[in-house]
Structure 1
Amino acid sequence: MPAKRKRKAQRLCVAYETSDGEKSEGADLPVVTVWEPQEWQQQLTNIRIMRSKKDAPVDHLGAEHCCDPSAPPKVQRYQILLALMLSSQTKDQVTAGAMQRLLAQGLTVDSILQTDDNTLGKLIYPVGFWRSKVKFIKQTSAILKQRYNGDIPASLAELVALPGVGPKMAHLAMAVAWGTVSGIAVDTHVHRIANRLKWTKRMTKSPEETRAALEEWLPRQLWSEINGLLVGFGQQICLPTHPRCQTCLNQALCPSAQSF
Structure 2
Amino acid sequence: MAAKPDRKTALRVLGTLEETYPDAHCALNYSNPLELLVATILSAQCTDVRVNQVTEGLFRRYPDAAAYAGADLSALEEEIRSTGFFRNKARNLVACGAALLERHGGEIPRTLEALTALPGVGRKTANVVLGNAFGLAEGLVVDTHVKRIAGRLGWTRHSDPERIERDLCALFPREKWTQASHVLIFHGRQICKAPTPLCTLCPVLSDCPRIGVTRSR
The one-letter code of the counterpart of 1:218 is F
- Which residue matches 1:61? 27
Q: Does 1:112 align with 2:68?
A: yes
State the match for 2:195 in structure 1: 241
1:162 correspondence with 2:118: yes
Question: In the alignment, residue 119 of structure 1 is paired with which amino acid?
Answer: A
- State which of 169, 176, 182 in structure 2 corresponds to 1:222: 176
How far does residue 60 in structure 1 lie from its aligned partner after superposition?
6.6
Aligned match of 2:85: 129
- Aligned-residue CA RMSD (Å): 2.0
Q: 42-51 or 157-166: which moved more?
A: 42-51
Q: Aligned partners of 1:170 and 1:180: how far apart in 2?
A: 10
Report 1 or 2 for greater relative contact order, CA contacts < 8 Å, sequence distance ≥ 6: 2
The Cα of 1:115 is off from its aligned counterpart by 2.3
Paired with 2:205 and 2:152, the residues of 1 have a C-alpha distance of 11
- Cα deviation code 1:183-214 (max 9, x no counterpart): 112111111111110112xx111211100111
Q: Normalized against structure 1, the TM-score is what? A: 0.75
C-alpha separation between the residues in 1 aligned to 2:195 and 2:125?
24
What residue identity is the alignment partner of 1:79?
E
Aligned CA distance change for structure 1 residues 195 and 38 (closer, same or farther; 3 Å): farther
> TM-score normalized by structure 2?
0.88
Question: 1:210 corresponds to which residue?
Answer: 164
CA distances 1:5-30 after superposition (whole Å, capped 9, x unpaired): xxxxxxxxxxxxxxxxxxxxxxxxxx
- The 5 Å alignment of 1:11-26 reads none
CA positional deviation for 1:35: 5.9
Is the contact made by 1:37 and 1:198 (CA closer than 8 Å) also made in structure 2? no
Residue 84 of structure 2 aligns with an amino acid whose one-letter code is G
| Structure 1 gap ranges (5+) | 1-33, 68-75
May I ask how many residue pairs the two structures share in their alignment? 211
- The equivalent of 1:144 in structure 2 is 100
Shift of 1:37: 4.6
The structure whose residues are more often helix, as a share, is 2
CA distance in 2: counterparts of 1:41 and 1:143, whole angstroms:
40
Q: Which residue of 1 aligns with 2:132?
A: 176
**110-119 vs 166-175, which moves further:** 110-119
1:44 is aligned to 2:14? yes
d(CA) in 2 for partners of 1:35, 1:192: 15
1:252 aligned counterpart, secondary structure? helix
Cα distance between partner residues in 1 of 2:20 and 2:202? 8
Letter of the 2:10 counterpart: W
Displacement of 1:216: 2.1
Alpha-carbon distance in 2 for matches of 1:114, 1:219: 42
Partner residue of 1:86 out of 20, 39, 42: 42
The answer on whether the counterparts of 1:186 and 1:207 sit within 8 Å (CA) in structure 2 is yes
Q: In percent, how many aligned pairs have the same letter? A: 30
Aligned position for 1:253: 207
Task: Give unpaired runs (5+ residues) of structure 2.
Answer: none
Whether contact under 8 Å (2:191, 2:199) holds in the other structure is: yes
Contact 1:171 1:183 in 2 (8 A): yes
Letter in 2 for 1:244: L
How far off its partner does 1:254 sit?
1.3
